[in-house]
Chains A and B, each alone.
Chain A
Amino acid sequence: MSSDNDLHDQMIHFDPYGKKLGMWLFLFTEFLLFGGLFVVYAVYRSMNPEGFHLGSAELDLTVGAINTVFLLTSSLTVALSITALQKGNSKLAINLIMITILFAFAFMFNKYYEWTMKFEHGLFPGMEHFNELPVGEKQFFNLYFMMTGLHALHVIIGAILLLVVAWGIKKGTVNQKRYIYLENGGLYWHLVDVIWIYLFPLFYLII
């Protein structure tokens, strides 16, 4: 009887499906936020294909490709940590989240290196060299800094979210039965990955 009541209480107070739907609704707003920028990108690029071609040639394909591998692998480690927690191996789950956060740092380090190079070449909007560029290349670098910058901000937020979830696993509030917070943290991280999946070819791979 009492155990039935406990179960009943849990059903009322804990609603993982509702939490997941809420997370997805939030992801839709994120998707449309970046979607708006992709629309701007599509219009500018169709107006100035030459400028986008020149701008893309300035980017370092190797760094972009390495960052793609970093993000894809970090998505794997998050997915694996969910599997680990579902199987009750919370220690492995925490370690996999920590590896994910390490990849986030590695990604940000590469971004820092890339942006520093662009600053040195005077390609940041408003700099002397930037001001002399043709209009299409200006549009390219405006969007490059806006979109990769906004994406990098999401990488930082995602890493913090995952750190909070890892802390929850350590404390036991996130566990084998209640892993929705890890799932939601993972959903956010995968969204960051999906956005990069589009950013990479659209900025680095223009012929």
Chain B
Amino acid sequence: MSEEHSEHIVSYKFNILVWIDLLIFTFITIEIAQFDFQALTVVIALIVATIKTLLVGAYFMHLKFENRFLQSVVVGVFLLFIAVLILLFSDYLY
């Protein structure tokens, strides 16, 4: 854990590799949506979207190179939102 401002430089090449991954996942999500997996369809779409979000967050937003505190807060807010969704659906689905 480092106390200073992120000095990490992500290389041009690595940024482009992340971008290619993002395009591949976009292609995958469109192709998969052509099949009907019933209720699983939306789950798969959300999983792919979350993988893309992790890529953008970790590398484009430099979260991988930030200190532990900032990383925990970001993950915490994400978990808070998921908790809201779970509580909501547990309330009125049953």
Contacts and interface: CB of A to CB of B under 8 A. Distances in A.
Interface of A: 16-17, 20-21, 24, 28, 31-32, 35, 39, 42-43, 46, 61, 65, 68-69, 72-73, 75-76, 78-80, 82-84, 86-87, 180, 183, 186-187, 190, 193-194, 197-198, 200-202, 205-207
B89 A201 contact: no
A65 B81 contact: no
Contacts of A20: 5-6, 70
A72 B45 contact: no
Contact of B45 (A31, A75, A183, A202): A202
Interface size range on B against A = 35 or more
A17 B65 CA distance: 13
Of listed B5, B6, B41, B48, residue having the most chain A CB within 10 A: B5
B70 to A, nearest CB: 7
Interface in B1-52: 4-6, 9-12, 15-16, 18-19, 22-23, 26, 29-30, 33-36, 41-42, 45-46, 48-49, 52
Contacts of B19: 72-73, 75-76
Contacts of A16: 5
Nearest to A68: B26
A160 B89 CA distance: 38
B contact face: mostly helix, strand, loop, or mixed: helix
A190 B60 contact: yes
Contacts of A35: 81, 84
A47 B22 CA distance: 32
Contacts, number: 109
A158 to B, nearest CB: 14
- For the complex, would chain A's binding face be called helix, strand, loop or mixed by DSSP majority? helix
Contacts of B60: 75-76, 78-79, 186, 190, 193
Nearest to B34: A207
Interface of B: 4-6, 9-12, 15-16, 18-19, 22-23, 26, 29-30, 33-36, 41-42, 45-46, 48-49, 52-53, 56-57, 59-62, 70, 73-74, 77, 81, 84-85, 88-89, 92-93
Contact of A39 (B35, B84, B93): B84
Contacts of B23: 69, 72
Contact of A72 (B22, B88, B89): B22
A24 B12 contact: no
B3 to A, nearest CB: 8
B15 A79 contact: yes
B88 A79 contact: no
Given A17-B4, A20-B6, A201-B42, 12 more contacts: A24-B74, A39-B88, A42-B88, A72-B19, A78-B60, A79-B10, A79-B18, A83-B11, A194-B53, A198-B46, A201-B29, A202-B42
